Amino acid sequence: MSSDQNILVKLNDTGLRIDDKWLVKGVSLQVEKGKIVTLIGPNGSGKSTTAKIALGIYKKIDGSVEKYTTKVGYVPQKISIDWTLPLRVNDFMVLTENLDNETIDEALSLTGVIHLKDKNLGDLSGGEFQRVLLARAISKKPELLVLDEPVQGVDFTGEIALYELIKKISDELNCGILLISHDLHTVMTATDHVVCLNGHVCCSGSPMDVAKNNEYKALFGEQASQILSRYEHRHDHIHTDEGKIKKN
């Protein structure tokens, strides 16, 4: 454990309930400078919700969030841009912070989309847009990066390059990263800490620790059988509608 001053954001037993239904419950985790924390778990397991709790987007939450930085970069899982807004990539880059041209160019080059700088945001493909989103988040040199499936829709070679870039950014900027990913290979190689979610924290620890965990082994077995993206989550319990946990 590193000292407390390295902590960027800390979730203490946080949860979110909407209309008496728990989206996620009892999550404790912390992101430190220079470390990558990855959230894994099936669809609807509360990964994005947890990320938004960490970002302070939800106001009425259970538990508490301690945030020690204001320099935050965020790549949301989904974002819809309205065409009533004329918005070029260049305009989008300076959305939350004013940056000089050099910084913008550098970030766009890093994610390989510098040639799209003057294009309308609405004309980009899914993968191109994802690269722009990542470029925008890293360009402001944040202390905390929250990346919600940052490489979705990116081609295979690009995906590997972007994950390498994310690792590099974490080292160079010494920023903490909260990553949500479906790519277990990345999780196992580049992450410092893994949190496995399914409405609550199923298991967490270093990738090695998690790999030894029975619940993770269930995932890993599925991955070995060539199913990378669609893995099943095996439990000793089931989840009921109210977000309660029932032992099998």
Partner 1 sequence: MFDDFFIRALVAGIGVALVTGPLGCFVIWRRLSYFGDTLAHSALLGVTLAFTMEFNIALSVFIISSLIALILIQLQKKTNLPGDALLGLLAHSSLAVGLVVIGFLTFIRFDIMGLLFGDILAVSVDDLLIIWIGGALILLTLKFIWKPLFASTVNYELAEAEGLNPDRAKAIFTILMAAIIAISIKMVGLLLITGMLIIPAAMARNLSTSPQSMVMYSVIGGLLSVIIGLFASLEFNTSSGPSIITAALLLFILSLFKIKQSIKLKN
What's the first-to-final CA gap in the chain, in angstroms?
A: 35
Which two tokens mark 52? Answer: 């938004």
CA atoms within 13 A on the CB side of 157: 1
What minimum distance in Å lies between the beta carbon of 176 and partner 1? 14
Residue 239, amino acid: H
What minimum distance in Å lies between the beta carbon of 96 and partner 1? 4
What minimum distance in Å lies between the beta carbon of 75 and partner 1? 9
Distance (Å, rounded) from C-alpha 178 to C-alpha 164?
15
What minimum distance in Å lies between the beta carbon of 22 and partner 1? 21
Q: Which is nearer to partner 1, 87 or 245 (CB)?
A: 87
Distance (Å, rounded) from C-alpha 165 to C-alpha 26?
32
What minimum distance in Å lies between the beta carbon of 80 and partner 1? 8
Q: Which is nearer to partner 1, 95 or 227 (CB)?
A: 95
Distance (Å, rounded) from C-alpha 140 to C-alpha 143?
9
Residue 142, amino acid: P
What minimum distance in Å lies between the beta carbon of 16 and partner 1? 14
110 CB-near residues (< 8 Å, 6+ apart): 135, 138, 165
Single out the residue of 55, 72, 84, 235 nearest to residue 141, CA to CA. Answer: 72
Q: Which is nearer to partner 1, 97 or 215 (CB)?
A: 97
Which residues in this chain contact partner 1 in the complex, by CB under 8 A?
52, 55-57, 70, 72-74, 76, 79, 81-82, 84-88, 90-92, 95-97, 120, 140, 146
Q: Which is nearer to partner 1, 74 or 231 (CB)?
A: 74
For 199-218, letters b (16+ CB in 10 Å) and e give bbbbbbeebeebbebebbee
Q: Which is nearer to partner 1, 85 or 228 (CB)?
A: 85
Q: How many other CB atoms are there within 10 angstroms of residue 23's CB atom? A: 19
Q: Which is nearer to partner 1, 40 or 144 (CB)?
A: 144
Q: Which is nearer to partner 1, 92 or 163 (CB)?
A: 92
What minimum distance in Å lies between the beta carbon of 185 and partner 1? 28
